[in-house]
Amino acid sequence: MSQLWSKLVHKLEPYVPGEQPKITNLIKLNTNENPYGPSPKVLDALKTEAADTLRLYPDPNSDQLKQTIADYYSVEPKQVFVGNGSDEVLAHAFQALLKHDKPILYPDITYSFYPVYCGLYQIEYETIPLADDFTINIENYKKPNGGIIFPNPNAPTGVGLALEAIKQLLDNNTDSVVIVDEAYIDFGGETAISLVDQYPNLLVIQTLSKSRSLAGLRLGFAIGNEQLIAGLERVKNSFNSYPIDRFASTGAIAAFEDEEYFQTTKQQILNTRAKLITGLESLGFEVLPSQANFVFARHPSKDAISISQSLRDKGIIVRHFAKPRIDQFIRITIGTKAECEALIKCLSSI
């Protein structure tokens, strides 16, 4: 039957997301979800959308949402693109902005969806090794390319890149698009959005799934020069006119409007992260410096797969990546204080 598939489909190697278990009572620290629910104001706003107006299409251009995001980040609405989760935004960006004659560049250890997008859109790529301490060395990106993309902080390491380094990378690389994938930026990094007016080839992508507790709602966005956004809009409008449903738009707007809740929950996560790192280190783990809502840690003598499995047996899920250089690490999402204490207790007993 597969002769009915397009040639491309045979070659795809789809992305495998972290497990979303259907059993409850697990401590779920594997997909970097926020341990706190969305703002009560977001929930109230969402309830009002459960109404007769659902019979009507949403605004295909999501103008109100773009205005809200633009106001929040002090940019113009025409500098804002929105999508059904930041994965969709990334997909459109690969197709619209990163497919050129030369290969694109990204770190050897990074978000594992990037090579999948390259497969989908048949984009050549070259991976640039991280330094031994898992930092990005921007000097290594000084070569002809069809575009550059990296997460900041990087995934799954959590290691951040300073804004000054990003600025230097942009100064070195003016002829192709540079995408900074800031899914985790709110947990301690410094956003590159402040640079978009200065660098017309810079695109910054963020999500509401992590710091704004809305993974279940699917909303991501990009901010950049209006010409880059126009390119994304051309692809989006050739793919799906109405990707943002009425709930996603309303929930996202309300989330940006409740700054206090955002700051409070973020601070709680940062506090818990500090305690978790101390606890892991006291058990002998090496923990990479994290600017994210997760930590990436390895034990000098215990095997990562066996740690993961032992935790799983006791009802705690973390994530392991069977990849070169990082196969001895486990990635642990910052949960509630109680969840992280349970994790440390469990690790002590292993």
CA distances from 132 to 135, 215, 284 (A): 7, 32, 20
Is residue 209 packed enough to be buried (19+ CB in 10 Å), middle (13-18) or exposed (0-12)?
A: buried
- Would you count residue 338 as binding a second copy (CB under 8 A)? no
Distance CA 182, CA 256 (A): 16
CA nearest to 40, candidates 215, 211, 208, 262? 262
- Would you count residue 239 as binding a second copy (CB under 8 A)? yes
Q: Provide the minimum distance between the beta carbon of 278 and a second copy in the complex, in angstroms, as a whole number.
A: 25
Comparison of 188 and 243: residue with beta carbon closer to a second copy: 243
Give me 246's structure tokens.
């009425």
Q: Provide the minimum distance between the beta carbon of 137 and a second copy in the complex, in angstroms, as a whole number.
A: 25
C-alpha torsion angle, residues 163, 168, 173, 174 (rounded to 10): 80
- Would you count residue 91 as binding a second copy (CB under 8 A)? yes
User: Can you tell me which of 228, 277, 297, 317 binds a second copy, judged by CB under 8 A?
Assistant: 228
- Would you count residue 316 as binding a second copy (CB under 8 A)? no
Stretch 142-161 residues interacting with a second copy (CB under 8 A): none
Distance CA 320, CA 49 (A): 38
User: Can you tell me which of 68, 79, 84, 206 binds a second copy, judged by CB under 8 A?
Assistant: 84
- Would you count residue 99 as binding a second copy (CB under 8 A)? yes
- Would you count residue 29 as binding a second copy (CB under 8 A)? no
Contacting range for a second copy; rule: CB under 8 A; set: 53-61, 155-163, 271-279, 284-292 = 53-61
- Would you count residue 211 as binding a second copy (CB under 8 A)? no
Contacting range for a second copy; rule: CB under 8 A; set: 246-254, 274-282, 283-291, 337-345 = 246-254
User: Can you tell me which of 47, 142, 325, 345 binds a second copy, judged by CB under 8 A?
Assistant: 47
User: Can you tell me which of 138, 169, 246, 317 binds a second copy, judged by CB under 8 A?
Assistant: 246
- Would you count residue 55 as binding a second copy (CB under 8 A)? yes
- Would you count residue 333 as binding a second copy (CB under 8 A)? no
- Would you count residue 4 as binding a second copy (CB under 8 A)? yes
- Would you count residue 82 as binding a second copy (CB under 8 A)? no
Distance CA 226, CA 80 (A): 8
Comparison of 15 and 72: residue with beta carbon closer to a second copy: 15
Give me 79's structure tokens.
């500098």
Stretch 108-147 residues interacting with a second copy (CB under 8 A): 116-117, 119-120
Comparison of 107 and 243: residue with beta carbon closer to a second copy: 243
Comparison of 99 and 312: residue with beta carbon closer to a second copy: 99
- Would you count residue 102 as binding a second copy (CB under 8 A)? no
- Would you count residue 235 as binding a second copy (CB under 8 A)? yes
User: Can you tell me which of 129, 133, 143, 242 binds a second copy, judged by CB under 8 A?
Assistant: 242
Contacting range for a second copy; rule: CB under 8 A; set: 70-78, 233-241, 271-279, 341-349 = 233-241
Q: Provide the minimum distance between the beta carbon of 269 and a second copy in the complex, in angstroms, as a whole number.
A: 12
- Would you count residue 58 as binding a second copy (CB under 8 A)? yes
- Would you count residue 222 as binding a second copy (CB under 8 A)? no
Please work out, in degrees rounded to the nearest 5, the angle formed at the alpha carbon of residue 119 by the alpha carbons of 189 and 328. 55
What is the CB-side half-sphere exposure of residue 280 using CA atoms within 13 A?
27
